[in-house]
A and B are shown apart, each in its own frame.
Chain A
Amino acid sequence: MATFFGEVVVAPSRAGLDEEEEAREETPEDREIRREIEKKRYRQRGEIGEREIQVLWSCSEESLVCSRFVVAIGRNAAAFLSSFILDSVCWEVIGVVKLWNEWCRTSSTTNVLPTDSFCLFYRLISDPTVLLCQCSCYVAEDQQFQWLEKVFGSMQKKGLQVTILSTCPVADYKTQESTLTLVSPFLKALKTKEFQEQVCCPLLEQPNIVRDLPAA
């Protein structure tokens, strides 16, 4: 693409193409070297690699039977749970996710401030099959699948119902009229066909979509 001054630059593509990936032609030797480097990154002297996430439970995983799982993703949703649901009498902390990415780092401490980035799991003391997750940190796209597999993989699911709470900017909402005149905040929902109960708000209309960890 030629710009105003005549120099040719690579046009950025909406399709999310990585120019570096296209240009790289791997020989079998290159592939082997890359594989060894990645192995080292992930298992260097027993340490966990940079982008691998760890889910640490305070109880044994055998006892994690789950019938209801509420996941609050993002600071707003996490704050909603803190304000209206969680308290130290009825809920106990049973797990934490430790991760690092370019946007945030979480630690294994469960004593967190609302302004920290954290991902904690709680269990209802009166019914230990009800679990809550507050995830105020950003889980990068290459970690989202890992998060899913490690969290859900630890649970014994018993008629499991999952509720995901998340927020999006109103400006991202696609609608015929302008978002300036829209009364916000407002709720929208997506549900699987297995969810037979009544949903408390309208369903999300096309062409709107959900991304990242809530989508995963």
Chain B
Amino acid sequence: MFIPCDRGGGSAAPDFKGFTLLMPAVSVGNVGQLAIDLVISTLDMTKVGYFYTDCLVPMVGNNPYATAEENSVELSINAEVYSLPSKKLVVMQIRSPFIKNKYRPFCETLLSWVKSSKCARVVLLSSSHAYQRDDEQLLGTPLRYLLTPDLEKAVGGCMKELNWKEMEKVAAYPGINDTDKVLHIPGGGITKLLFTESCSEGIQMAVLLKFCSEGDNIPDAFVLVNYLNEWLQLIKSEVSTSNNSTDPSSQWKIPSSWRLLFGNGLPPALF
């Protein structure tokens, strides 16, 4: 499934042992994917390979993180892997939706790749439908986290220090029986499946998600990536001297592929 890039000189396949795998779930507003774009673009990560899979709708284009004429001609497809060894970080980006009935095989293959490449932990960026929140969730922060039991032991304390809120479980049979609680992530795509499978297979996984709706999800992406940064400290949040507050949003670099997200320019004849 994972095909390493040929970087010339007969280099061996990259080694991800002990790395953190950061990846998006294709979810409402594509927030996870937008956040991953910001991470790859800002940290100027190098592509190390791609996933050859029949589970995602095919697409291809030129380099979405191009900054100049010279680096704009590398082809880019629907599932690619980037790495930054200095931060022990490997990032996967998914750029198209799942083909019907293929999301389950994809999850199985992905988790077996996680185990075979010996990644230390997986961080999944996702989102959930804002309109499905209950009364309590409507107040306070729209950000939530989840940890598999294995990762809870390692970093559970860190989440408490950061004052993060764990994703609430909902009643399995609302109105009838409020004691059976289940995890419900509407609009989260493969989030719930990946999380429950990781729990049962002993994989260390964290899910970071934001409640949102479809629309201009760029601000949601910034909020989610800043949330991630509170924990992983991928970039330094500098204190702004003008208003003396810590706002790391300006330090994330928007990739060139985010141009024209809402259509072309208007014809002058319209006015």
Give A residues with C-beta under 8 Å from B: 1-2, 8, 11-18, 21-22, 141-142, 144-146, 173-181, 190-193, 203-216
Contacts and interface: CB of A to CB of B under 8 A. Distances in A.
Contacts of B59: 209-211, 215
B166 interface: no
Contacts of B73: 191, 193, 203
A207 B30 contact: no
Scoring A176, A178, A212 by chain B CB atoms within 10 A of each residue's CB, the highest score goes to: A178
A175 B265 contact: yes
Contacts of A22: 186, 188-189, 192
A191 B76 CA distance: 11
Interface stretch (B62-70, B152-160, B233-241, B243-251): B62-70
A104 to B, nearest CB: 18
Contact of A141 (B60, B77, B99, B103): B99
B131 to A, nearest CB: 5
Contacts, number: 132
Given A192-B75, A203-B72, A207-B260, 4 more contacts: A1-B213, A14-B29, A174-B263, A180-B267
A15 B26 contact: yes
Interface of B: 26-30, 54, 57-64, 66, 72-75, 77, 96-103, 129, 131, 186-189, 192, 213-214, 256-261, 263-269
12 contacts: A15-B187, A175-B264, A177-B265, A178-B266, A178-B267, A180-B269, A191-B73, A193-B74, A206-B63, A207-B257, A207-B261, A209-B59
Contact of A211 (B29, B57, B63, B267): B57
A66 B98 CA distance: 32
Contacts of A17: 26-28, 97, 187, 189
A200 B205 CA distance: 48
A18 B206 CA distance: 24
B100 A207 contact: no
Given A11-B214, A17-B27, A207-B64, A1 B260 contact: no
Contact of A144 (B58, B75, B129): B58
* Best-surrounded residue of B213, B256, B265 (most CB of chain A within 10 A): B265
Nearest to B102: A142
A206 B98 CA distance: 23
B97 A15 contact: yes
A212 B57 CA distance: 7
A75 to B, nearest CB: 20
Contacts of A146: 54
